[in-house]
Structure 1
């Protein structure tokens, strides 16, 4: 298989219980654009409260790929952006476990370890490059290049919203031929997104440029989530721009539940999201 200039390293990763992880791909072939710290392995936080593995520092972003079983594979794919306040990445609860669900319904999942802590500009470069990597190698992975979505949780929802509205911005110097490929997602799912209401009077964050070309979105949140206004303002902006949007708000559930059992919100959104995908991803 020819990978052109994309650097790919197969790694032994401790995610065997999460679906069928196949490989780990370093997305930047040489120096990471805009990164002052030399490349090194991701640093795992000592804080594993809530039965969650947290990545505390990323300087060399990677995509961890999960393949669905051949009998359910549907040629669609998602780049998954875990949350963590742009400070850490809740890599299992909002990454690998989400990939396991996506593969169960036929999607190839690419869990993104984007730059943290507090490297929002670098994180946007990472997600744009990741979408380009997936799209440019769609035929290698038996994917449809026009069915590449992005999905995010909390701060990952912020990053996914930025990817979905800032795809025309050239945020880093082109590295190779991959960067000639579009980084626009074909559809977007935001689960308890945060930081989308930084505008005046808690309106849409000015950075987010929603227009008629913004991809269709599925948005899920709960009313008692302190960040739930983000879901409301994004849904309003999409409606005003006549972009297809589906918004669900449950009364209770808080924030950061992933899809773990015991949370009504965590058990509800995957069912609704799968139905939305069946209607939207055709």
Structure 2
């Protein structure tokens, strides 16, 4: 009974959030590289650690989180939750992070990209989201050249892919929005995953860093044993191509901590990220 009550509470929390934040769907007609029909996001019954998880997304969208008082930078961040490309941890690594960004005066967008195991579809979704937000920059009171991306775990993988494959047309153009650039202006990875799938744990081959790759912030922990090399191989590739990068790897923290209290890493990364955002946006 207790588990049922918790799940019901999480559902109502998600419904309340959706009602208070505008939902913008990415694809007006058919969804590219999607075999299933559009449907409402499917909620997982896995509610461990009070995390709301979407187990299926076929009609991707983003939720708009506007700050009460915008800062002078007029910048925006698209937040990509993690979940191993199987689910989306939509509150832990989505709405909670968006609200933190709002507290700093940033407009935030939580991207519900396609899952499970639809990596090409997810890339379609983030490219389309960047273009749509860039088109509507005036509506959101942001600068079209100050749109960044922030990803956690698998969401970090997606952010790295979007930040290095912006010249790759991953789907066929459907309207004038797709003529706009899908290059992020800055990129942030927090305990990213799947970036070390090259030979001998080198950089994943599809991630090709060049001098045109946007500046990066990377944060991870040494006790994130399964994924910690993602931080180092990505940082090395950025260094080698003279792309500005701040990389922080602390001893303790593990994986999947988000902003939740009780974890030193969860306390440290937002402080470091805030200072980095101020510096990097001042140069854009």
Q: Give the aligned CA root-mean-square deviation in angstroms.
A: 1.6
Displacement of 1:106 after TM fit?
1.1
- Secondary structure of the 2:111 match is strand
The match for 2:151 is: 152
Pairwise mapping of residues 193-272 of structure 1 onto structure 2 (< 5 A)? 193-225=192-224, 226-272=226-272
Matched, 1:172 2:171: yes
TM-score by length of 1: 0.93
- Secondary structure of the 1:179 match is helix
Corresponding residue pairs, total: 270
CA distance in 2, matches of 1:163, 1:278: 22
Identify unmatched segments of 5+ residues in structure 1: 1-11
Query: Does structure 2 conserve the Cα–Cα contact (< 8 Å) formed by 1:73 and 1:107?
Result: no
Pairwise mapping of residues 102-181 of structure 1 onto structure 2 (< 5 A)? 102-181=101-180
The match for 1:69 is: 68
TM-score by length of 2: 0.92
CA distance in 2, matches of 1:247, 1:174: 35
- Secondary structure of the 1:14 match is helix
Could you list the structure 1 runs, at least 4 aligned residues long, displaced by more than 2 angstroms after superposition: 12-18, 70-74
Displacement of 1:142 after TM fit?
1.1
CA distance in 1, matches of 2:110, 2:185: 17
Question: Which has a greater percent of helix?
Answer: 2
Q: Any idea what the Cα deviations from partners look like across 1:23-44, whole Å, max 9, x if unmatched?
A: 0000111110010000000000
The match for 1:33 is: 32
Identify unmatched segments of 5+ residues in structure 2: 1-11
